[in-house]
Structure 1
Amino acid sequence: MGEFELIRHYFAAAPCAQGGEGVALGIGDDCALLDVPAGERLAVSTDTLVAGVHFPHVCDPLLLGQRSLAVAASDLAAMGATPIGFTLALTLPEVSAAWLQAYAEGLDRMARHCGLSLIGGDTTRGPLSITMTVFGRVPAGQALLRAGARAGDLLCVGGALGNAAGALPLVLGERQAEAGLSAPLLAHYWSPSPQFALGQALRGKATAALDISDGLLADCGHIAKASGLALEVNLAEVPVSPALEGFLGVEAARHAALTGGDDYVLAFTLPPAQLSSLRASGVPFHVIGRALDGEGVSLRDPQGQDITPQQRGYQHFRETP
């Protein structure tokens, strides 16, 4: 099967590739055309997933299809954007009809869940890797940025943390657990749900935001640096799921919540005056700390003691000792 036949058969015919709001022209020409309403700006982000680095070489392609789009779409949620579409660049070591059919099905499921239309892409031969570019729109002046937090703001997150990191031993086949513990952890790893409702509710309220992909403490460091202040995290307030605690134990679960990657939950700073308004929106979130003068990120125990760990999250290309 040639490249263009592969695209037509597995991707161009998928429901998510049939256009949608904001898509003037999708798959079939040299470029897609997007409509962005007056007074709005285009939000664009690209993510690459590589076999053996971001997912196991051997895994369920349907689950991989879901995950590969969700992790990219989460960046749109972090900006407060409304989703429009995405492109897919897929590098394959070989053409397998069964693999492609399952991958395309998982991709379509997540695309419809997120409200994203497949509008183009490319395929080539080589080691398995997946590159997604996602497009959204956001009212001018209302995009959520990493810079903008102010001393006195509350530090918040959009949900329980550490589930994907806790799932990793299950994904790699290193451990097993009963379904009541393993199912929610694996679901978070393979099918994270971009927090679009929260991101859009934060427009005009939050002063800074991002999605947590490399660990809470590491990613909060990006907000602190961009905003020129310090962030303080209260350990007792960091939300951890019962499944994670049941699987790893309380201490290991807390460590995963603080430093584990692949959460794709939003972290943001919020002026105290906006707290009641955001709660009234009905979108769940947790207050876990505050912004203050200074620099960097610190972790405090219930007695107020500094217990900041040396390891704060995952970094690509970090040199090993």
Structure 2
Amino acid sequence: MHLERLRTKRLNVSLFYCAFTDVSRCNAERLLRTEIARVQTQAQAESYEANGIDEYEYIACSLKDVCRLCKEMDGKTFKLKDMEIGENAPPMHPNCHCSTAPYSDRKIYENWLDGLANGEHSLRFDEWKTLNAQEKEKSYIKETGKTGPCHVDAKLMNSKKYHDKYENITEHKSVNECLYQEVLKILDDNNDTEFEHIIAVHSRKRELLVKNTEAAKRGMKHQCGFSKKESKFLEELESTFEVLHNHPNSSLPSRDDIQKLYERKKQASSIIACHDGTLYILKKLKGLEKDEIDSLVEKVYHDTKVKYQGYSEGAIESKCSESLIKMLNKMGCLDYVEK
């Protein structure tokens, strides 16, 4: 409906312009074709976004008299978020006949379309691609017996040794058991992948408040978080809550993990379950205002980058986390445990 209204509005404006100005029929047709091409590109962009396609390819028209500008653009790829009609998307000029196409492995894209047409699935392209990649990876591991750095040892996770790591996270046994049972599901779902799930659990009773898997569904690796609606719900609770998520590469708590612990006023702790069996527990002992924690994190990150100039971004992040944890612990704001 939105595109139809836009199309009608543009055409009406064009017709009005042609009717009341001295414009030849040829010029009027060129103007209309250009406006229609603009609307078609906008429609393509909306379709790409709706289906999780984040890159597109510029396709120059096949006419012999294709202009030099469009010929130079042919085959170039761009991020959808950077699309700008007239700059990197058609129409590039009046009477432009060029178009765009989703940029991805053509065979993979066609398989996704075939699945949609045959009723095999109703997934967005990014969701289908992620699911397909996960299934292939698990199939490869099953056939070869090889595992990667994100592999979860199911035997270890189901052992008493690992279960005992959750015993004293809170004062309530039922809450600790809830955290353990939920983490088993998270680790199983994300075994041999780089995806993360995040949950919030009631601090005083066995109750799963929120579970968010959206980042994984969208194929966003090493990321997770709560939606605005979920965050609002959690902050309006009378009780505090515990937050748990997984780290596929078994890294330290991130800057964002630490920052969110203080930004969420009702969050009591942040628990990071690593795929290698390590458990990081950060308990908030004293709150900090948002500007205080933001300023502290920014300063520590800047100082760390200067001190470890030339190191990889991953190494800098790790050193930054270590410094933040030590500083907050020294300030009496944080209790940090590694198990």
TM class by smaller structure: under 0.3
TM-score (norm 2): 0.24
Higher strand share: 1
Between Structure 1 and Structure 2, whose CA radius of gyration is higher?
Answer: 2
Report which structure shows greater RCO (CA 8 Å, sep ≥6): 1
Point out the structure with the larger helix share.
2
Structure 1 length normalisation: TM-score? 0.25
